[in-house]
Amino acid sequence: MDFTLKHALGSYTVHSAYGGLQEIGKYFKLDRRVLIVTDAGVPSEYARTAAAACKEPHIVTVPMGEESKSIETMKMLCEKMLAYGFTRKDAVIGIGGGVVGDLACFAASAYMRGIDFYNVPTTVLAAVDSSVGGKCGVNLAGVKNIVGAFYQPKGVLFDARLLRTLPKRQIAAGLAEAIKMAATFDESLFSLFETEEITENLYEQVIFRAASLKARIVEADEREGGIRKSLNFGHTYGHAIEAAGGMAQLLHGECVALGMLPFCSDAVYERLFGVLKRFSLPTALPFEARLALPYLSHDKKWGERGVDAVFCEAIGSFEIRTLTKDALLATIEGAQKRYR
């Protein structure tokens, strides 16, 4: 299964192929120098498999976790490319989850003002969300994704076989982003989450549908000036939960799950709450809600009039409302009874 995403400077293909990593050279242009970026939590055989298909591979393994998503690590990757004699004709591959993809893509976007980047997501979260759309970046001073760029990959390869080593909690956290997409754009997909057991056989279908939905949105609004803002459903408060200390206790998708609950109608809340419980996603905050409130001001979506917050009033639809800080705080505080 493939789909193509068109953007301002061209297009690229997202390939979904079970076992596709073994044939990575069929999907990407690798007859050149290639920096393969992965992390310590990804089986090392994945990077070695990709390296075998490259003319001149260089594997860099960074520590696992958000701490690697930093300017210092990005600088190290650029220094490696400089030391290895990379030119504008060479490429970077990210093999891992969202941290690796964002980090490797940002390094590729900056080195020599941009060289080719390919993404091989190894988590559900990365396959559904961060691998498609061209956003990349790093964290700074405890603020998530505050330094980065819009930089589209040359290609994406999703191999569902790589998910076999993931813990169930990681899979559920990744599915939170797919649930988000279904809630705001696809009622039939949301119904599937309510009724079907998402087994390995359904991973590809669910991930492919959610990722292709995101691709259509990115095509319509690459730079997040309009409809792409809808992808932030669950993220305005979710990022604040992460920054307030949730990052140490919760995965990103789990924070997004919690971030959706205050921003929906009562009818949507009942269905959404049921789906989150069904997939063992959190529905109660790990600390007092007030501790996350100061971090809302760091959200990149703030403008002169306030923040653009995404609401879901009916499954399969969304509304973007510009809220002042006081209105945003009132929305969250008014929904505290929903955390149970």
Contact of 232 with 301, CB cutoff 8 Å:
yes
Strands 2-7 and 10-16: antiparallel
**DSSP of 147-212, one letter per residue?**
EEEE---SEEEE-GGGGGGS-HHHHHHHHHHHHHHHHHH-HHHHHHHHHS---HHHHHHHHHHHHH
- In the set 154, 239, 271, 338, the catalytic residue is 239
DSSP state of 142: T
Give the CA distances from residue 332 to residues 79, 143, 229, 245, 294, in Å, rounded to whole numbers and listed in that order: 44, 20, 19, 17, 12
Does the annotation mark 321 as catalytic? Answer: no
Catalytic residue among 224, 242, 271, 338: 224
Closest by CA to 38, choosing from 106, 109, 93, 112, is 93
| Catalytic-residue membership of 26 | no
- Among the listed residues 15, 58, 69, 135, the single catalytic one is 135
Q: Which of 33, 69, 235, 338 is catalytic?
A: 235
Catalytic site residue 15? no
What's the CA gap between 162 and 144, in Å, rounded? Answer: 27
Full DSSP string of 204-225: HHHHHHHHHHHHHHHHH-TTSS
**Of 214, 229, 271, 338, which one is the catalytic site residue?**
214
In order of 13, 20, 236, 280, 301, the CA distances from 229 in angstroms are: 23, 32, 11, 27, 9
Tokens of 167: 């813990």
Active site residue 69: no
Catalytic option among 72, 113, 337, 340: 113
Q: Is 235 a catalytic residue?
A: yes
Active site residue 340: no
Report the distance separating Cα 185 and Cα 132, nearest Å: 17
Q: Is 113 noted as a catalytic residue in this protein? A: yes
119 classed as catalytic: no
**Catalytic status, residue 177:** yes
Q: Is residue 224 flagged as an active site residue? A: yes
User: What is the phi-psi region of residue 261: left when phi exceeds 0, alpha when psi lies from -120 to 50, beta otherwise?
Assistant: alpha
Q: DSSP readout, 296-312?
A: GGG-TTB-SS-EEEEEB
Catalytic residue among 58, 154, 177, 338: 177
Q: For residue 59, how many other CB atoms are within 10 A of its CB?
A: 17
Catalytic residue annotation = 113, 135, 177, 214, 224, 228, 232, 235, 239, 252
